[in-house]
Structure 1
Amino acid sequence: MENSNRETILFYKEIKPLTDKRNGPMLVRKHSTEELLVRKCYPLYLEEHLVTLQKIKHAHLPKIEELIVQDGKLWLYEEFVQGRTLNEVIQSSGILETEQILTLAMAVLEALGALHNKGLVHRDVKPGNIILTNEGNIKLIDFDAVRTVDGEKESDTVQLGTMGFAAPEQFGFAESDERSDLYSLGVVMNICSVKEYPKKRLTEDSTLKGIIRKATKLEPRERYQTALEMHLVLRQQLSRKLLAVKQAKKNTVSKKRPIRIYRANWSRTNIWLKNKYVRQFIFTSSHLLKGVSTFFRKYVPGFRTATMWKRVIALFWYVISFGQIIGSIVYQPTGSLRIRELVESLFIFILPVILFTNFLDYQRKFPLLSSENKVYRWIGYGLLVLFWVVITKGGLELNSFIYRSFNQ
């Protein structure tokens, strides 16, 4: 093993190279656990990105076991994912069914969402980097092109990506971000459907066509803006597709039954649902609930993540804050005192939620808060705390002054 690390030799045994490339991925076995891992060599400038990646634990991403720096190189040991690449599946099986494409894309979006939440962009989403495991899972692999989103650069410092799958901005037209990965996934979906790039031949599948067209727009602002937004659309389309298939099967079975048996199976509930006002109420209520759910998952801090404990803490905080605000207002004897208490509660309870939970992704626009350097980010958060203290103190004093002026 060239430029071997002595510590690595003690803990890992080389099995075989996985490609013919020099310093390419090597299959190794860990002595202590007999676990098979893949060793890869990365440039040192990716160290901070890969350290961030190592902290992400997700079902659709390979687990990173260890990072070792030796002789100016960065060695990464990650989970050995056994299965076939999507590229191999397409070559051997032909095009995929619509339901398979939607399910696969949703899994990749969940992996991308986990990366994007940590400020990372994959930048090389393609069939060769998507693995269908022997257990039926889907994994997004290969982080050679990963980078963090700066938000202030005119273009990427290092221009990487696979021709045909990479978004236009990855070739120097602008800085790549989360929407670049969504562009690549749109191309992958089209390849799965018709084995062609969208710009050459867009799929005619009615379920996929609109999704792929939007995902692969040349202008990033015209695409889906987040992995969650695209995931919600795919999930809705998959539900409709499955419902249509189920209904088609039901209609086929119904045609084979005598009419008298079909009528005999009508229940009181079926008859009740025939009322147009009841159906309209159910339709409106379901869409309203879906809209509220989408709003919470997209905008409300604490609910934008799929992590349950974060949602529980957020819910606890909102209940306590709401109770405190309502309680402090209700028990005031006059209207002016109620307004004063409301303003104070907004500064003390609501303002920190907006500032410290990256509401509407505002932190990306501030260099210190969006910096890749941890020291700069800590300085940014320190200044943010100072800003909150100063603005709260000033706001409370101004609120008290206004209250005294109106009550003298």
Structure 2
Amino acid sequence: INNPYLCRIYEISESTEAYTIYEEFCDGMTLTDYANGETLAEHDALNITCSICQGLYALHSSGIVHRDIKPDNIIICDDNNVKIIDFDISKIYKSNQRSDTQTLGTVGFAAPEQFGMQQSDARTDLYSLAVLLNVLLTGEHPSVKMCENKKILKVIKKCLSINPDDRYSTAEELYNVLSKIRRKLKYEKMS
């Protein structure tokens, strides 16, 4: 998938013992290192989240679910571009499957369906992205502290719904909602 928000994979080779993945080197730092234990301004956090949405939309449009969206798997490149990395537990969505074959994901960021309730899909990544956004804004997991901006909080809560049917259905839909909030913040700041 050729997308500016995704780390490009050049080749995958298979041996009897393992797979080897050759991928693009992204000059920069993980989002964890970029934030350095601090919270980000709302506009900065929304810019990063909107970039991730664009990468996820390309990934999901190809039938792939990342399943491990977290600050360590996001690179802020030296040119300030945002890239999603680490596709180790990604999977191809299969419409005829009821649940994932393996329970995988990072505790705290993984959606409930990643623990055997049903199959992971695009909405799984949106759940994790909402956790990430809340962490960028508060420095805490949503179970500890939620963001204070009511408009952003409403979006985060929708993405964190236990039932995937109650979340945004696509990364594009989430991007549109977050972009609207981002524009309003920018307008309010200019006023």
Using the size of structure 2 for normalisation, the TM-score is: 0.96
* 1:84 match: secondary structure: strand
Pick from 4, 18, 30 the counterpart of residue 85 of structure 1.
Answer: 30
Superposition deviation, residue 210 in structure 1:
1.0
Provide, for residues 269-324 of structure 1, a one-character-per-residue CA deviation record: whole Å limited to 9, x for no partner. Answer: xxxxxxxxxxxxxxxxxxxxxxxxxxxxxxxxxxxxxxxxxxxxxxxxxxxxxxxx
Q: CA deviation at 1:90?
A: 2.1
Q: Which residue of 1 aligns with 2:122?
A: 178
What is the alpha-carbon distance in structure 1 between the residues aligned to residue 123 and residue 99 of structure 2? 14
Corresponding residue of 1:57? 2
Aligned to 1:203: 147
Q: Does 1:133 align with 2:77?
A: yes
Question: Shift in Å at residue 231 of structure 1?
Answer: 0.5
Q: Calculate the aligned-residue CA RMSD, in Å.
A: 1.2
Where do 5+ consecutive residues of structure 1 fail to align?
1-55, 248-408
Matches within 5 A, 1:60-75: 60-75=5-20
In the TM superposition, residue 206 of structure 1 has moved relative to its aligned partner by: 2.7
Asked if structure 2 preserves the Cα contact closer than 8 Å seen for 1:126 and 1:184, the reply is yes
Greater Cα radius of gyration, structure 1 or 2: 1
Q: Residues 66 and 76 of structure 1 are in contact (CA less than 8 Å); yes or no, is this contact kept in structure 2?
A: yes
Considering Cα pairs closer than 8 Å and 6+ residues apart, tell me whether 1 or 2 has the greater RCO. Answer: 2
Which residue of structure 1 lines up, in the alignment, with residue 189 of structure 2?
245
Q: Distance in 2 between matches of 1:187 and 1:173?
A: 19
Tell me how far apart the structure 2 counterparts of residues 221 and 68 of structure 1 sit (CA, whole Å): 37
For the residues of structure 2 that align with 1:199 and 1:216, how far apart are their CA atoms?
11
| Alignment: residue pair count | 191
2:64 to 114, 120, 136: 120
**Structure with the largest fraction of helix:** 1
Selected match of 1:159 from 93, 103, 117: 103
1:162-215 per-position Cα deviation (integer Å, ceiling 9, x unaligned): 000000000011111100000000000000011111122211123421111111
The sequence identity of aligned pairs, in percent, is 37
Q: Cα distance, 1:72 vs. partner?
A: 4.0
CA distance in 2, matches of 1:67, 1:155: 26
1:211 alignment partner, SS class:
helix
Q: Which 5+ residue runs of structure 2 have no aligned equivalent?
A: none
Partner of 1:229: 173
The within-5 A match list for 1:296-315 is none
- Cα deviation for residue 73 of structure 1 reads 2.5
**Counterparts of 1:183 and 1:99, CA distance in 2:** 20
CA distance in 2, matches of 1:198, 1:100: 19
- Contact 1:106 / 1:235 at 8 angstroms: preserved in 2? yes
How many angstroms apart in 2 are the aligned matches of 1:207 and 1:242?
Answer: 14
Contact 1:160–1:170 (Cα < 8 Å) also in 2: yes
- Assess if the C-alpha contact under 8 Å between 1:98 and 1:207 holds in 2: no
Post-superposition offset of 1:76: 1.2
